[in-house]
Amino acid sequence: MTFRYLGVAAMLLILYCIIETVTSHRTNLTFPAIIVFGDSIVDPGNNNYLKTIARCDFPPYGRDLAGGKPTGRFSNGKIAPDFAAEIFGIKDLIPPYLDPNLKIEDLVTGVSFASGGAGYDPITANFGPAFSLSDQLDMFRQYLSKIKSAAGEEKAAHILSQGLFMVVVGSNDISNTYYGTPIRNSKYDTNSYTDFITGYASSFLQELYEIGARKMAVFGAPPIGCVPSQRTIYGGIERECSDKENKLALLFNSKLHSVIDRLNRQFSDSKIVYVDVYYSLLSIIQNAAQYGFEVTTKGCCGTGSIEVTVLCNSLKIGYSCPDASKYIFWDSFHPTERTYEILTREILQKYQNNFI
């Protein structure tokens, strides 16, 4: 009997040691701030302060946010940086840098410089127009000056070295610039164009590194050919995914991944992580029912086939779906809040250890 109890005690001791060993290697990852660059996927309202048609500071955008008011987010509610900030316990929403009401406490925990319509290709931002990546870097430098003046050099250095820098751009280069106009596809084939824009991506990331950023999450292009507007334009009567756009997205992603691998070798004190969103979103589209979605090929706003930005307006409120959570897409180009939440949680679970 005594030996039996000793055996149980020994087993409990061993189990305790195992648990201690496992938990001692866990890291409750967090960041002091989230800084965002990119396009409409991560623009929380910077385009509100720009004369452009690429804006959404009007209903029914934002209808499912607290208060139900449009903020300039290209969705019915929160977007990916908001969920990331919430998950990491930083704050509820990542604000647009250009919001004139921001206080220093808002700035030090992170802002977005993203602008709907931006791209790696320097001419992409002209179509909106939008704030280009070069404009966004200029705003970031202004931001750092404000932080240094109000909170000190040490705080600014901490944000640079420990903050999470999200870079989400590329979709507009594919859908708007390359396939939407003859400006680039008359001069470049898909191989040379992806070389062209990944060259700009490399320059942007190097410049961000030189400013001081050390932890970057760089998102690849999504299956842009499967968003409702591209199905409508290129998908035929059945509104299938646009194969040519998806192939270009995959080619771009492959080259972007290679660029990031090279930069990680070059900058050994940084952690630049390539984030695959292509297959993550495609999985949701192809397995919609498993996620509780009912509509995969149309957006919630209006007919859901072509409405986006100014075409998704207050006149469409009565024609929009009653429950956006059943839809993968909010308008013909951008996901719903629920899709953003699912994607953000899956991506953070998959990639957060890359920053440890």
Tell me the two tokens of residue 332.
Answer: 């013909």
CB 256 within 8 A of CB 198: yes
Domain assignment present for 79: yes
Q: Hey, which bits of the chain come out as E strands?
A: 34-38, 164-168, 215-219, 271-275, 295-299, 327-329
Confidence of residue 30 (pLDDT cuts 50, 70, 90): confident
**Mean of pLDDT values over 168-195:** 97
> How many whole angstroms separate alpha carbon 174 and alpha carbon 251?
11
> How many whole angstroms separate alpha carbon 200 and alpha carbon 219?
15
Domain assignment present for 8: no
Selected catalytic residue, list 39, 40, 115, 332: 40
Tell me the two tokens of residue 102.
Answer: 């921001």
Selected catalytic residue, list 43, 132, 280, 334: 334
**Mean of pLDDT values over 300-322:** 91
Domain assignment present for 105: yes
Confidence of residue 19 (pLDDT cuts 50, 70, 90): very low
pLDDT more than 70, % of the chain = 92
| Dihedral angle sign, alpha carbons of residues 343, 236, 316, 326 | negative
pLDDT digit string, tens, across residues 146-171: 999 999 999 999 999 999 999 999 99
> Quick one: pLDDT at residue 18?
39
Domain assignment present for 198: yes
40 is catalytic: yes
Domain assignment present for 148: yes
> How many whole angstroms separate alpha carbon 330 and alpha carbon 301?
6
Selected catalytic residue, list 39, 175, 331, 332: 331
Q: For the domain that residue 341 is a member of, what is the CATH number?
A: 3.40.50.1110
Domain limits for position 331: 28-355
The domain total for the chain is 1
The residues that bridge with 275 in the sheet, in sequence order, are 219
For residue 24, pLDDT over 70 is answered with: no
Between 170 and 6, the more confident residue is 170
Domain assignment present for 18: no
> Average pLDDT, whole number, for the chain?
92
Domain assignment present for 195: yes
334 is catalytic: yes
Whether the bond into 122 is cis, omega within 30 of 0: no
Residue 36 has phi, psi (to 5 degrees) of -125, 135
Confidence of residue 318 (pLDDT cuts 50, 70, 90): confident
Domain assignment present for 293: yes
149 is catalytic: no
> How many whole angstroms separate alpha carbon 103 and alpha carbon 99?
10
